[in-house]
Structure 1
Amino acid sequence: MIQTLTQSQFIPTDPDRVWDYFSTPANLNALTPPEMKFQTKGNPGPMYAGQTIAYRIRVAPMIWVNWLTEIRQVDPGVMFIDEQRIGPYRLWYHEHRFEPKDGGVLMHDHVTYALPLGPIGDLVHALWVKRQLKHVFDFRREAVDQVFGQK
């Protein structure tokens, strides 16, 4: 079954600073919970459409997953889309939007995703993945607050 996750967060900081941070793939490490031991492979450099980013992530104790993401679209200062090419999901499509607002930026995430294995994947989603993704995005919200001096 196809699932969605949406989140918005206001960042009271200069839009260029926000874009520079989120369009730098190396910053993914700081936005991922430490227990997931996120590891970018190589140095992906600045973001561009068509770029692929390889990384390794621990999804559970002693369970590591290699993930390859392609940056599908970039509209500098406005949005970018990443899509899983290789990884744990049957579908992972993540749209990041940045809307200047009230002297800062309203950042929107919209993720469309699905697990493999049909009904078994749906059960795993209900029992574990949905909660894990909430944890990841809650951590990310706190990390963004710290990076941009809100906490």
Structure 2
Amino acid sequence: MKLYQFSSQQKLPISIDEAWKFLTDANNLKLLTPPELEMKVQYGTERGMYPGQLIEYSVKPLPYYRTNWVTHITQVKEREFFVDEQMYGPYATWHHKHFISEIPGGTLMEDLIHYRLPLGFLGKLGAPFVKKQLAEIFRFRESALIKHFGEYVENAPIQKDLQATQKHEILN
């Protein structure tokens, strides 16, 4: 099974405290997820984010196919990063690192995802579709965050432009 990698960067025109508060509230996942995935958060959002937290939601990654997805928050370093790993869901492996750092006029948000696809050879055939779907999800997230916080403007005092860069790599 191949290990795939997806990464994204986005600049937000908000303080690191505001970014942390928003990004660590699992209830905001629905706002950041394309409506066609029909995400429903079911469990685990009663408290702020903490190591050991389990979050359960359901998604519809394919037409007529809904699945539950349980993620485990394995690491949290306040105002710097958190890591979620899939315990159960549509991927064979899912490891997602979320980083934030202060930049002039806002916050840089970085995501690094490592994932493996299920179903062996069939999963490998579906890899281009999954890669495209992840890119679309992160493009949606970029526009949702611009709509929510406005655009980041270089060297502006906490103002806004969500400059997203994305890349995919296959790790052998």
Aligned match for 1:124, one of 126, 131, 142: 126
Task: Name which one, 1 or 2, has greater alpha-carbon Rg.
Answer: 2
Check if 1:142 corresponds to 2:143: yes
Give, in whole Å, the separation in 2 of the partners of 1:8 and 1:122.
26
Q: Distance in 2 between matches of 1:145 and 1:74?
A: 25
Residue deviations 1:9-59 (CA, integer Å, cap 9, x gap): 011211100110001010001000011110000351211110000000011
Secondary structure of the residue aligned to 2:90 is coil
User: Could you give the per-residue CA deviations for residues 94-114 of structure 1, whole angstroms, max 9, x where no partner exists?
Assistant: 000001011211110000001
Q: State the one-letter code of the partner of 1:14.
A: S
CA distance in 1, matches of 2:54, 2:43: 11
* TM-score, normalised relative to structure 2: 0.84
Kept in 2: contact 1:67–1:84 (CA 8 A): yes
- Pick 1 or 2: higher relative contact order, CA cutoff 8 A, min separation 6: 2
Match of 1:71 among 70, 73, 76: 73
Secondary structure, counterpart of 2:84 in structure 1: strand
CA distance in 2, matches of 1:147, 1:70: 27
Instruction: Tell me how far apart the structure 1 counterparts of residues 105 and 79 of structure 2 sit (CA, whole Å).
Output: 15
Give the root-mean-square deviation of aligned CA atoms: 1.2
TM superposition outliers: structure 1 runs of 4+ over 3 Å = none
Residue-pair matches, total: 150
Between structures 1 and 2, the one with greater helix share = 1
Match of 2:103 in 1: 101
How far 1:149 sits from its partner (Å)?
2.0
Unpaired runs of 5+ in structure 1?
none
Given residue 12 of structure 2, which amino acid in structure 1 is its aligned partner? I
Deviation at 1:118, TM superposition (A): 2.0
The residue that corresponds to 1:83 in the other structure is 85
The whole-number CA distance in structure 2 between the counterparts of 1:43 and 1:107 is 23
- TM-score (norm. length: structure 1): 0.95
Partner of 1:15: 16
Aligned-pair identity (%): 37
Q: Distance in 2 between matches of 1:148 and 1:19?
A: 13
